[in-house]
């Protein structure tokens, strides 16, 4: 992989027409260790957030020994880079053949259910493979209510009374049982975890079976850009949030229990930035070589403020406008799809033009993993960049919440 000091250096040297992922391995390691320092239990990285081999390898180097996996492809990706790592199979709804593969081929012994039919499937495989259920920890996933940018409780999780029954049934069959929840991604309310812990406590007290582990899921917010035209949201910093979580864990009586967290976004968001090129400027629209079907689907939802830095092409000698004036541009993606337009404008210097580049920061989470081959555009070029995005010159731009007219 080619290595550069800054994304600007990479753009000047490569003059790329394809999007370039700038990997910042030291940021990934630092953000990983920071989270692990805050969390008093096992850190199980959620592989779906970004399952690139270079990410999994770097995480293993940073000391991650546990991975949250959901599919055969994820089992394999983890096993390839970290043969000794523990895998937690934390998808509540599974194909029976995938359960078998997990238990038989990958030796996975930790999983999750939110319905009795999933217990039936699991037990069929456990019996067929002659595994002692006491060798397995099965979590029951609780429904949660809270405020996150991406809510998941409508899709997964058992209500409290149902969770009590599931725990009792698992325990009768001989499994070790745990409780888990996942509050959604990029939480927006610091009390979200406490509400989930209160619910876990209620379920534990009613179930009357020994609970061996508590898994608090993911959802920890990553730092994104700030739109200077808006008040910064009053979400506490990560260290405050984690201190609050540790306090809540103790307060709800889970302090002496082995704990697991499944962070994704908070660990990997800042580990990548993306260099895109302006293929055409048409008035206040910029047509770029990436978009919602490639690296920018997460920003398309409009819930995240991505910071952006202007990288002017020095070959452009004549420019119109005032480079100190920051104005909004509508950003259109590379595909022929009419919905491939970012939901938020990017604010950039008025002088931006066809042929210039833009470095978009903090795209490490849910962007590489969600890219498609739609229309044949599939960004897949990586360089290593040593200067973290947040340490370079201040970003000029950001994707704002303000919508703009055509």
Point out the residues that are catalytic: 336
How many whole angstroms from its chain centre is CA 337? Answer: 26
What are 2's two structure tokens?
């080619």
Binding-site member from 32, 43, 49, 144 for ligand PLP (CB under 6 A): 49
SS3 label, residue 171: helix
SS3 label, residue 51: coil
Q: Which is nearer to ligand PLP, 263 or 312 (CB)?
A: 263
Closest CA to 311 of 8, 2, 46: 8
Q: Candidates 45-53, 247-255, 305-313, 368-376: pick the segment binding ligand PLP (CB under 6 A).
A: 45-53
Q: Establish how many alpha carbons lie within 13 A of residue 329's alpha carbon, considering only the half-sphere containing its beta carbon.
A: 30
94 near ligand PLP (CB under 6 A): no
Interface with ligand PLP: number of residues (CB under 6 A): 17
Convert 251-310 into a string of H (helix), E (strand) and C (coil): HCCCCCCCEEECCCHHHHHHHEEEEEEEEEEECCEEEECCCCCCCCHHHHCCCCCCEEEE
Binding-site member from 68, 74, 290, 353 for ligand PLP (CB under 6 A): 68
Q: Candidates 18-26, 218-226, 302-310, 377-385: pick the segment binding ligand PLP (CB under 6 A).
A: 218-226
Angle CA 113–115–116, to nearest 5: 105
Residues 316-375 close enough to bind ligand PLP by CB under 6 A: 365
Residues 121-180 close enough to bind ligand PLP by CB under 6 A: none
SS3 label, residue 316: coil
Q: Which is nearer to ligand PLP, 11 or 46 (CB)?
A: 46
Q: How far apart are CA 192 and CA 174, in angstroms?
A: 32
Binding-site member from 46, 59, 200, 288 for ligand PLP (CB under 6 A): 46
Q: Candidates 50-58, 217-225, 299-307, 383-391: pick the segment binding ligand PLP (CB under 6 A).
A: 217-225
Cα-Cα end-to-end distance for the chain? 40
Residues 220-239 close enough to bind ligand PLP by CB under 6 A: 220
262 near ligand PLP (CB under 6 A): yes
Q: Which is nearer to ligand PLP, 75 or 220 (CB)?
A: 220
Binding-site member from 8, 24, 204, 265 for ligand PLP (CB under 6 A): 265
Nearest distance from C-beta of residue 365 to ligand PLP, angstroms? 6
Q: Candidates 59-67, 213-221, 285-293, 353-361: pick the segment binding ligand PLP (CB under 6 A).
A: 213-221
Q: How far apart are CA 10 and CA 29, in angstroms?
A: 22
185 near ligand PLP (CB under 6 A): yes
Measured in degrees and rounded to the nearest 5, phi and psi for residue 94 equal -130, 150
Q: Candidates 223-231, 262-270, 353-361, 370-378: pick the segment binding ligand PLP (CB under 6 A).
A: 262-270
Packing angle of the helix pair 238-251, 25-38 (nearest 10 deg) = 30
217 near ligand PLP (CB under 6 A): yes
**Other Cβ atoms closer than 10 A to 183:** 23
Binding site for ligand PLP (CB under 6 A): 46, 48-49, 68, 90, 182, 185, 217-220, 262-266, 365
């Amino acid at each position: 992989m080619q290595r550069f000091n800054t994304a600007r250096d990479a753009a000047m040297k490569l003059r790329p027409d394809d999007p370039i992922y700038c990997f910042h391995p030291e940021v990934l390691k630092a953000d990983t260790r920071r989270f692990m320092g805050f969390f008093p239990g096992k850190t199980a990285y959620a592989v779906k957030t970004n399952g690139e081999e270079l990410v999994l390898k770097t995480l293993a180097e940073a000391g991650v020994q546990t991975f949250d996996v959901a599919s055969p492809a994820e089992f394999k990706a983890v096993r390839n880079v970290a043969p000794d790592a523990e895998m937690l199979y934390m998808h509540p709804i599974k194909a029976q053949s995938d359960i078998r593969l997990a238990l038989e081929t990958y030796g996975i012994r930790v999983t999750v259910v939110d319905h009795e039919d999933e217990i039936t499937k699991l037990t069929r495989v456990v019996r067929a493979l002659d595994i002692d259920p006491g060798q397995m920890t099965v979590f029951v996933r609780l429904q949660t209510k809270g405020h996150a940018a991406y809510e998941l409780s409508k899709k997964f999780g058992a209500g409290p009374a149902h969770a009590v029954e599931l725990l009792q049934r698992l325990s009768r069959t001989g499994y070790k049982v745990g409780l888990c929840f996942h509050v959604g991604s990029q939480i927006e309310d610091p009390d979200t975890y406490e509400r989930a812990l209160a619910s876990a406590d209620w379920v534990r007290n009613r179930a009357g079976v020994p609970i061996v582990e508590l898994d608090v899921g993911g959802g920890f917010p990553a730092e994104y850009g700030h739109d200077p035209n808006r008040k910064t949201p009053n979400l506490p910093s990560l260290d405050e949030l984690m201190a609050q979580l540790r306090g809540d864990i103790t307060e709800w009586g889970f302090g002496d229990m082995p704990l697991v967290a499944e962070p994704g976004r908070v660990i990997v968001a800042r580990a990548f930035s993306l260099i895109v090129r302006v293929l055409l400027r048409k008035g206040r629209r910029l047509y770029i070589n990436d978009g919602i079907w490639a690296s920018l689907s997460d920003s398309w939802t409009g819930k995240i403020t991505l910071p952006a830095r202007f990288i002017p092409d020095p070959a452009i000698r004549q420019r119109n406008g005032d480079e100190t004036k920051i104005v909004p541009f509508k950003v259109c993606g590379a595909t022929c799809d009419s919905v491939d337009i970012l939901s938020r404008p990017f604010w950039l210097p008025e002088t931006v033009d066809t042929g210039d580049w833009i470095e978009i920061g903090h795209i490490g989470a849910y962007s590489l993993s969600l890219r498609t081959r739609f229309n044949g555009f599939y960004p897949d070029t990586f360089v290593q960049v040593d200067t973290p995005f947040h340490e370079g010159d201040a970003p000029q731009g950001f994707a704002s919440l303000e919508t703009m007219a055509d």
